[in-house]
Amino acid sequence: MRIDPLLTRSPATGALRPITEDLLAEVYLAPRVAQLCLVDHLGAGAPWSDSFAASPEETARAVEAGLLAVAHAAPMLDPAEIVTDTLPDGRARNHLDALRALWRDIGTLPDPLNTWRHVLQSKAADALEPLPTADPDCSFATPAEASLARTLRTHHGDADALPPPPLAAEGTALRNLQDRIGRHSDQFAPDPSVACHGLRDPREEAEFAAALAQSLLDTGRVDHPGEIGLLAPDGPAYDLPLQDAFDRVGLPLSGLPTEPAQRDQAGELLSLLLVLLKGPAPRTALASLYITPGMPWPAATGRRMARELIDRGWSRLATEQTGAARELLNAMRPCDTPEQLFARLGFIARAVPGADLHPRVAMLKAATGNEIDWPLLHRLAAPTAVAANGHDRFVEGVSLFSEGALPWRPVRQLIVAGMAGRHWPRPPGSDPFFTEGEIAMIRDTGLMLEGRKQKLARGLELFRRQLCAATEGLNLLVPAMDLRGDHLTPSTGLALIAHMLGTDEPADLVRDIRSARPEDWPVATTRPDPVPMGGAPALPKDGLIHIQRGLGTPDRPGIDLLRLRETKDGPLPHSPSRLETLLVSPLGWLLDELGAKELAWAPETLDVMTLGTLMHQVLEEVFPEGTEIPDDATRAARVPKALNSAIRLHARWLIDVAWATERASLLREARDICAAWAGFLRHTGAEVLHNEIALKGEHGGLLLHGKADCLLKLPGGRILVVDHKRSSAGGRRDRMAKGWDLQVALYRAMLERPSEETPLTRLVAEGAQVVTAYHMLRDGTVLSDAGGADVPRVETTGADAAENAMDHLAQVLAEVGAGTVRLNREGDAKAFEKERGIKAYALENPLVAAFTLPGGSYEEDSE
């Protein structure tokens, strides 16, 4: 491709302007062609047929790139110029013949090549106005570009040549780089005209570039901002940081896009709608719809609905919507036919007029047959970023130069950012069709395809020409890492510069800003005072935080930590799981009470809670209350139906074909669990009285609530309260044996001191003996305390499985009730597991970890 732009000078005014595709089309009345789409032309019989069958869109893009490369190598843009007779039989010849046949088949090329071919086939008299060219020769022009320049010169003649740009003074290091980089060169001594600064990442580069520009002005090295140039890589890593940094120092950037890059919001919304209408969709997809701009509900309402959905799996506020919002949410149901799909898409497009969905929906409808091809629709609807357009150039600002073009005006001082990674020059990519050896053979036939060598030479020459924009000084900025934190290697250009300046390694040339004294920096700087203790909080040595709850007044009472979750009807009750958190970490419990937790968005996963919920539901449906234990045949028929029902109720996303393996595994697990439970029920002679029974009561003045998974009536009238746990017995057995199982005692407390009457509490009040137990689903073990010692197939673990837990709970409740919160220590997690048999999940909270004291566990310190 050309480096020098093709320019024309007006015979009347002498003004220069680039010869663009639009200008050529207007002057020569060139017909415009539709966008090239090769998918319909890539049939069987071509070398790429197998790839096309497997991946049509990607193959079509690769074939288009190969076709354009071959077309650029044909001087007159005619497929007849591709002659393969002298090529040996093999891969190169087969692919080149196929590309020539494809070119003849489609009969056209995308613009600007189609416009160029029209000009090449025109006469001088066909032009509506003269286009005399200035400096038409470019040693890096493709054959097609060179032919276009010669044709225009023949039609319109030459204009006055452009004067050469001013360069740095002879003998300076900068001038040596401008003359010799990318060419054979001896080494030369460095001098102040070239400086190389090491920064952390592109954001710090942007801040430094803005500060350096301001420093150049303050020290008088330039007279105004227009004498400073900034050469930066293209892309979002530099675009926004540079603009923000220069705005902060009050320097305008000249050369920013007139229209910045835009998101394809219509494509994003349509892709999201296809995910929802295909179903089952992850909750993050529906939450994303809730917060999409333009929906028929306020933005604040959308954010609240999304938060509720992510936290609980459903949104109460969403169910309360009315009118257009209700109708739109009702339309978010899976579709089975094209008629359903496009009827709902059409309704949504009308309900959200600002999204401009109608043209995109019409495109999808035109590509759909009698059945819905979801992968095709997703490819067609995929959002594509709207590239930045135009250049806002003015005299007074710092000149911003783009990576792939020549600087548009000379400057005194040039700052080059991004001298690491894949920049200056960008490494040429591999050809999608031909190896470098095949390209060399094709070039021998006269078809001058570009290979990696030619592309690299062009990139180096472009970089040399970009450095020629500076007349006095060059500042190279080298980032150590990208914005993701990945370390970067020096660019090819930096390696060449380092070699020319006599250093062995590029790192020897780079002066790391952070390793230099602030007074030696090329820009003014101030460093903030170091944060005490490296940012770690100042924690009390005894590990106790005292919250002064007694400072209140009769009108405004102090804080009661045990009543933080209080409504107008009184404090909310505590669950056993919340109090288990209190045993492990009072701070973790307090944060939970305050709702101070990470609010991350994540799709549904087959985690322990989901698995437990599914298996609970299966057990309820296979063993309904008040019925006989099903025989083997009945159970085998019920389990698949019960699992499907549980999945549709609690985890609809598992219906997707991508989860087929997991569903098969769940079915095997459900069969094993139900078989083991049926054996237990038969062996004990138990009768299922209730499933999912709520428990409410109090302990030590603290309101409690919980839910028993299953209520069994044993022979003799005893009641077995069962809690299903989807784990094996090892960890729970250890906890109960050591007396640290809190849930058993809290269930007993709610039964003995109920705050609400239930069938179970009536049985207890009438004198029924109650035994609490765990059913461990992974291995079928049923664990109980001493009360279940004589129940068949029930394993007891000690006289009192909750003795230590209840004692410690009383101590912690007293502390918390008095406003004292005990912090954890680094050794607590291991100590809890070893001494108590408790997995300290509460300590995984990042805030709890941030306020953890060093040293061993609290028990060890107390000793």
Sequence spans of domains, the chain? 7-156, 173-260+401-429+455-519, 265-381, 546-558+570-594+685-863, 605-684
Phi, psi at residue 8, to the nearest 5°? -130, 145
Phi, psi at residue 834, to the nearest 5°? -75, -45
pLDDT the model gives residue 863: 47
Mean pLDDT of the chain: 89
Query: CA torsion sign, 394 to 399 to 404 to 410?
Result: positive
Question: Do you know the residue count of the chain?
Answer: 863
C-alpha 676/C-alpha 713 separation (Å) is: 18
pLDDT the model gives residue 58: 82
Distance of CA 425 to CAs 461, 495, 499, Å?
9, 11, 16
Q: Are 209 and 230 in contact (CB under 8 A)?
A: yes
C-alpha 708/C-alpha 840 separation (Å) is: 23
Phi, psi at residue 731, to the nearest 5°? -65, -45
Q: Can you name the CATH fold of 173-260+401-429+455-519? A: Rossmann fold (3.40.50)
CA angle at residue 330 from 328 to 333, to 5 degrees? 110
Pairing, β 770-776 against β 470-479: unpaired
- The C-alpha R_g of the chain, in whole angstroms, comes to 37
pLDDT the model gives residue 257: 86
Phi, psi at residue 411, to the nearest 5°? -140, 165
pLDDT the model gives residue 704: 93
pLDDT the model gives residue 549: 55
pLDDT the model gives residue 555: 53
Residues of the chain with pLDDT under 50: 551-553, 862-863
C-alpha 3/C-alpha 466 separation (Å) is: 10
- Among candidates 145, 187, 193, which has minimal Cα distance to 169? 193
Q: Are 453 and 431 in contact (CB under 8 A)?
A: no
Count of other CB atoms within 10 angstroms of residue 223: 10
